[in-house]
Structure 1
């Protein structure tokens, strides 16, 4: 049975935003005015066009493309797209394509019912838009992933599936990622992704002057939403950190780990347990590496705060078998560093970065982690916000490992697929 809910999926460097609103019908023809406002494009889809998944709308001035948007279909075979603050100074045409669930165009035509909303209509539109806020938000970040990595991953996917038409699930677009102080960003400047404000390379959810910035996770908590942060690298690495911590340096890993205790995040999963346990920790008969020198066992503190914890590679299977219950909180760190590159995770005999006694242990994939987060966080009636990072795409690409880059890109795409399956 289909769920009645709104879903927002954001993929970074890729981005897909779902915007849904309602407004009164209009019969106006093409509009000619110099006013500014919200341009409403209301398109009528033929009744015979069934199983519509989305509508793509191109607004054109002659042959010049002014704007391209897509929206989910609303009632009575109609869809609405809002284009903010446009100056209408000529007659526009609207080209419409209706796409079904199999990604086939089932309607293609031109329509001209375009109007500029009045002030009252804008207010009505904003009210309806607010009612349609996303209940479930996936913020998906492929660290170090650009067009080349995606093309490489898709090529490998076609070979694996024996299908030259196979495509990655992620729908992609591009935007600038420079930081406040340099044209080339680093992961910590993902602060812009988490807060909407650019900062200097290396800073975690703070402006260059040290002012702390509210993150999307913090904003979601204020709205009563459940929250989750998961990554294939260290859980306190720069990108996950900018969503749940504040620090002047991404390299203060121990301090960032402590910040997580106060974050209120409901679900953490990734690597990097060495920043959460004291020196000399022995677990399940094995000595675990540690970077802490203050004797603080943060895993014990998380448990005192009501978290169910999964520590080290040996608890990977327990995590996969875990059945989340409403109200649970989870903190999972499976490795001392990042999770293994996915080519190594799938082919344990290649996992030379792990000690010999761990070669038979397969840690969870980012898709499995995402699925477990969905199972838990979706039980919150207020919805959820989760940040999912394919963090080791960047690391494996630094090593000029083409095969590893392709595998990690596909692994991240499978996590994106989990979001779509949930919707």
Structure 2
């Protein structure tokens, strides 16, 4: 575009946009959306609201779905994206959990930051206590990176431990490393979220704080980690000092900076501990192996499907990888955990929504959100809302926005319109990140944006434009949504502090504190109904 006059730039940009196959796509409405249509639609919605009744049952099971970085704009864009994958306009549809009857908002700030990270937020919604930036499983008295500040008094325990103490099974499923911030908050206590393996802890800190184990060791060697029944995700290199970084498949390149150097093989130790405890266990590293797990005869399952983070869902599809989807991991976990009549607690994280946003690759972020939506659908199908509370939320927001007055049904990952500079821009953009890409016209002080085409913007690798240069896009400080279905779902009803989520889930399932409302008859009835539902579920899965 350099050396071209502004008028010629406008003309060329207009021709590019007009010729784009995206702009030839228009949403075709199947019916006339006149006043009668909208009035009838509103009346149906009003009737559903008037007929809504609160469910005061005890939640035998609780499933928390966490979309990492799943901001409200991400939800809106993903809803449209999902509809457009199905050949619809998209705006009129919904993600499965957006039809849940109860909705609230969560404030995501932490003890020392307006805009938080995934470690501090995970600590809040899993332990019920807000804490400092980048710390896990400890309260706000701990100093970031100071291992000596961690002690038994300031460690805080998650709802996973509360559920285990009540005799329930527990599970953690993620598309990230199982030692990453979100899953780690179910079992670990560290002053630095990056201490995923011993290689990330300095020699000085190891000598100063021998009582503080790395996150992977805490999962295998300490409670409540060693008693979690199902753990599935990536991060194999954090458990095996013998892992040399060789990918198990061409796309297994997400190794990260942490590798064991203490000669430990924690996977072998996990197997030995389970064998010594005389429990049935399975360790799997592929989708094929996962499908062969006998969930009726397995008490503990460890699945590590990648050396680092698991591949994106589109990579699994496009390359026919032997790696399970988030929905498939969720399905297997529910089957195994449901064998316990007292019920279970499970965390399922769609973790790579966040990673795609940090790279300002919106297409991947939306696809990961839709993948988590499929996992939620699977969980709803496999459980009963009379005894299972399902909560869907996010830990924090991102800086992606939806803008530009695009037409109804316009492709959400495509172009929005023409700017005043005569150049097209995308509907989805970021406030900061690696997508910053501007130049100055020769001989002037006029800033020029690149001329983008539709073929570029709809690819899996396209980096959205950003206003401020950053190697990695930052989180956003927005409130995030909470959706709930099942017993006590109405407890999520307004604007909440993020740490409230753990307390509400525990109250609903009669674990942890606040047990005054839990009569013996109600919990016994929940246990009996759980046995019946488990038997019925087993018959359904078998036949």
TMscore range, shorter length? 0.5 to 0.7
C-alpha separation in 1, matches of 2:79 and 2:49: 28
The 8 Å contact of residues 390 and 408 in structure 1, kept in 2 or not, is answered as: yes
Tell me, in whole angstroms, the C-alpha distance in 1 between the residues paired with 2:193 and 2:96.
31
Q: Is the 8 A contact 2:179 2:216 kept in 1?
A: yes
* Pair 1:305 & 2:276 matched: no
* Higher fraction of strand: 1
For these two proteins, the number of residue pairs brought into alignment is 289
1:199 to 121, 131, 155: 131
Q: 2:323 aligns with which of 363, 379, 390?
A: 363
Match of 2:335 among 375, 392, 397: 375
Matched, 1:274 2:237: yes
Instruction: Indicate the larger mover: 298-307 or 407-416.
Output: 298-307
CA distance 1:304–1:169, shift in 2 (3 Å): same
Q: Using the alignment, how far apart are the partners of 2:50 and 2:350 within structure 1?
A: 39
The answer on whether the counterparts of 2:237 and 2:245 sit within 8 Å (CA) in structure 1 is no
Question: Which residue of the other structure, out of 250, 253, 258, is the alignment partner of 2:217?
Answer: 258
Q: SS state of the match for residue 167, structure 1? A: coil
Report the CA distance shift for 1:106/1:236 in structure 2 as closer, same or farther (over 3 A).
same
Conserved 8 A contact 1:341-1:396 = no
Pick from 272, 279, 296: which aligns with 2:264? 296
**Shift in alpha-carbon separation, 1:285–1:149, aligned structure 2, 3 A:** closer
Secondary structure of the corresponding residue to residue 140 of structure 2? coil
Normalising by structure 1, what TM-score? 0.64
Q: 1:324 to 1:285 in 2, by over 3 A?
A: same
For residues 69 and 193 of structure 2, the distance between their equivalents in structure 1, rounded to whole angstroms, comes to 17
Partner of 2:77: 152
Greater relative contact order: 1 or 2 (C-alpha under 8 angstroms, separation 6 or more)? Answer: 2
Q: Distance in 2 between matches of 1:104 and 1:215?
A: 37
Instruction: Classify 1:163/1:224 alpha carbon distance in 2 versus 1 (closer, same or farther; 3 Å).
Output: same
Greater CA deviation, 276-285 or 188-197?
276-285
Aligned to 1:238: 181
Rounded Cα–Cα distance in structure 2 between residues aligned with 1:341 and 1:283: 19
Deviations 1:32-72 (A, max 9, x none): xxxxxxxxxxxxxxxxxxxxxxxxxxxxxxxxxxxxxxxxx
Name the Cα RMSD after superposition: 2.7
Structure 1 Cα separation of the partners of residues 381 and 243 of structure 2 = 43
Q: Within 5 A, what are the aligned runs for 1:17-166?
A: 106=47, 132-164=57-89, 165-166=92-93
Q: Give 1:106 shift.
A: 5.0
Q: Which residue of 2 aligns with 1:57?
A: none
Corresponding residue of 1:42: none
Give the 3 Å change call, closer, same or farther, for CA 414–301 of structure 1 in structure 2.
Answer: same
Query: Residue in 2 aligned with 1:223?
Result: 166
Q: Tell me if the contact between 1:137 and 1:386 (Cα under 8 Å) persists in the aligned partners.
A: yes
Whether contact under 8 Å (1:195, 1:213) holds in the other structure is yes
1:336-347 to 2 correspondences below 5 Å? 336-347=307-318
Q: Larger % of helix: which?
A: 2
TM-score for the superposition, normalised by structure 2: 0.50
Q: Provide the secondary structure at the position in 1 that maps to 2:186.
A: helix
Question: Alpha-carbon deviations, 1:135-167, whole Å to 9, x = none?
Answer: 010011101011111111111111111234431
How far is the alpha carbon of 1:321 from its aligned partner?
A: 3.0
> In the alignment, is the contact (CA less than 8 A) between 1:308 and 1:329 conserved in 2?
yes
Whole-angstrom CA distance in 2 between matches of 1:185 and 1:280: 33
Measure, in 2, the Cα distance between the counterparts of 1:286 and 1:331.
Answer: 20
Offset of residue 346 of structure 1: 1.8
Evaluate the alpha carbon distance shift between residue 184 and residue 379 of structure 1 in structure 2; reply closer, same or farther with a 3 A threshold: same
Within the candidate set 294, 304, 307, 1:333 is matched to 304
* Whole-angstrom CA distance in 2 between matches of 1:108 and 1:170: 16
Alpha-carbon distance in 2 for matches of 1:299, 1:201: 30
Moved more, 378-387 or 300-309: 300-309
Tell me the secondary structure at the aligned position of residue 174 of structure 2: strand
Offset of residue 419 of structure 1: 1.8
Q: 1:342 to 1:298 in 2, by over 3 A?
A: same
With over 3 angstroms needed to count, the CA separation of the structure-2 counterparts of 1:284 and 1:321, relative to structure 1, is: farther
CA contact (8 A) 1:204 1:241 kept: yes
